[in-house]
Amino acid sequence: MSNRKNPTRGTASESRFSVMEFMAEFPDDDACLAHLWRTRYSPDGEHALCPKCGVERSFHKYSNGDGRQSWTCTHCGRHVHPTAGTIFHKSSTSLHLWYYALFLITSTRCGISAKQLERELGVTYKTAWRMFNVIRNSLMAEPEIAPLEGKVEADETYFNRSNRLSNKTGKPGRSPGARTVFGMVERQGRVVVRHVPDATADVLSREIDLHVLPASMVFTDMHPSYQRTGWHYDHYRINHSAGVYVDGDVHTQTIEGFWSTVKGGIRGVYHSVSAKWLQSYLDEYAWRYNHREFTPRIRGVRRVPVGEAKFRLLLALAARPVR
């Protein structure tokens, strides 16, 4: 007979780190603070390098009723604040709510809106939007990603205010006032997405040269702006206008699949994105894509579910000083 106090999940479910596991590991603000202290300074929770003494000392948690979140060196009395310099620095929002926001953001497949975050956390919309904006811009943005290599697909797409990604005739293309987005993806690898001024040859060639290693194989459609690509790369093109989408190994299905995820997520979750914040939303989806297989598959070893791996990764990033 099954134990109702310890429910068993189905073997096909990858939800092994649900909200119940989160609350068991991080039940309150003190548990989150202790985790941050261990992650940043003290793996054993007691000993850490004292900035004043210059050697490892024993620390104890500082408590005097004023709510100060710090640990104190037992030798010299120096205070060490785990939240100092991080995204939690000087935040009046509970650390427990910050951790829960990180969990909610990583446990969803296509993202979560600030309005939904407001309802889940019980905070104001302004607070929820600020938290999500800080997480997206400080933790998920990866401006220094290594250049792509091997087989790389490149494609441009367009976003407009209503997120209708086709013109009035129903043919794919640019609508009046649309914002141009350019993406490059390694097959079975990483993706780089940039909000660019336009889709001219100068702009697209510059982005490819910047993010793709020479001697890589680049696959594009027949857009005239890609004519220069063959100067530095093995360039292969697929003619979508002729109804051809796959010709052996020549296709752009990988980047098209990524566009489908981004457009579906923005249309269904965020509904509308301004030009000012478009790049940050693109960074979020690129981060999700680049960390979709954070842990390797090893025979006989349970792989960490993707949502849990992303949550652990964001926790580690959140413990670093903000640049």
Q: How many CA atoms lie within 13 A of 267 on its CB side?
A: 12
CA 196, CA 193: separation in Å to the nearest integer? 9
Band (13; pLDDT cuts 50, 70, 90): low
Between 195 and 303, the more confident residue is 195
My answer on whether 118 and 216 are in the same domain is no
- Given a cut of 50, whether residue 167 has pLDDT beyond it is no
Average of per-residue pLDDT across 210-217: 92
My answer on whether 237 and 165 are in the same domain is yes
Band (15; pLDDT cuts 50, 70, 90): low
What average pLDDT is seen over the chain?
A: 86
246 phi/psi in degrees, rounded to 5: -140, 125
Domain boundaries, position 209:
151-290
Q: What is the pLDDT of residue 309?
A: 82
My answer on whether 94 and 158 are in the same domain is no
CATH of the domain at 159: 3.30.420.10
My answer on whether 219 and 109 are in the same domain is no
Query: Does residue 7 sit within a domain?
Result: no
The pTM of the full predicted model, rounded to 2 decimals, is 0.84
How many domains in the chain? 2
My answer on whether 168 and 198 are in the same domain is yes
Query: Does residue 156 sit within a domain?
Result: yes
- Given a cut of 70, whether residue 170 has pLDDT beyond it is no
- Given a cut of 80, whether residue 187 has pLDDT beyond it is yes
- Given a cut of 90, whether residue 96 has pLDDT beyond it is yes
Torsion on CA atoms 260, 263, 265, 269, rounded to nearest 10 = -160
My answer on whether 158 and 280 are in the same domain is yes
Percentage of the chain with pLDDT > 90? 57
Query: Does residue 8 sit within a domain?
Result: no
Average of per-residue pLDDT across 101-113: 88
Query: Does residue 74 sit within a domain?
Result: no
Q: What is the pLDDT of residue 119?
A: 95
Query: Does residue 110 sit within a domain?
Result: yes
Query: Does residue 276 sit within a domain?
Result: yes
Tokens of 65: 């009723």
Band (166; pLDDT cuts 50, 70, 90): very low
Query: Does residue 70 sit within a domain?
Result: no
My answer on whether 155 and 130 are in the same domain is no
Q: What is the pLDDT of residues 244-294, one digit of tens each?
A: 999 899 999 999 999 999 998 888 888 888 888 999 999 999 999 998 764
My answer on whether 90 and 204 are in the same domain is no
Q: Where are the beta strands (DSSP E) in the chain?
A: 47-49, 56-62, 70-73, 79-80, 151-159, 179-186, 191-196, 217-220, 234-237, 246-247, 250-251
**Cα separations in angstroms, 117 against 114, 140, 268, 270:** 5, 17, 15, 12
My answer on whether 120 and 160 are in the same domain is no
Q: What is the pLDDT of residue 145?
A: 82
- Given a cut of 70, whether residue 302 has pLDDT beyond it is no
- Given a cut of 90, whether residue 102 has pLDDT beyond it is yes
My answer on whether 285 and 212 are in the same domain is yes
- Least confident range from 6-20, 158-172, 269-283: namely 158-172
Query: Does residue 52 sit within a domain?
Result: no
My answer on whether 172 and 119 are in the same domain is no
My answer on whether 219 and 128 are in the same domain is no
CA 105, CA 219: separation in Å to the nearest integer? 33
- Given a cut of 70, whether residue 98 has pLDDT beyond it is yes
